[in-house]
Amino acid sequence: MDRVSCMEDDMGTSITDETNVGFELRFRSLFKPGRALSFFCDANGNVDLDALSERARCNYFYARTVVGSEFFLPVVQRRNLH
């Protein structure tokens, strides 16, 4: 797999039950297609830092720091939580 992620990715699943829908904040790599860092968030893109592991928190702060030099601006997208 050619992507760094802080959670499993199941983007092929269709969203059918609105109660199982969540969101993720995704930072896509500028230079390596298919690579990204993603974090659970709310519909506004707010990440619960207290819920992240230490490693995920470091990755989140890193991604925010290098937006524009290593990552695109992050996007909020729907995610099926099943």
Q: What is the pTM (predicted TM-score) of this model?
A: 0.72
Q: Give residue limits of the domains in the chain.
A: 18-80
Place of tokens 């470091």: 58
d(CA 47, CA 41): 4
Element (H, E) at 22: strand 21-28
Query: End-to-end alpha-carbon separation of the chain, Å?
Result: 22
Res. 16 pLDDT band, cuts 50 70 90: very low
Amino acid at 47: V
What is the per-residue pLDDT for 80? 72
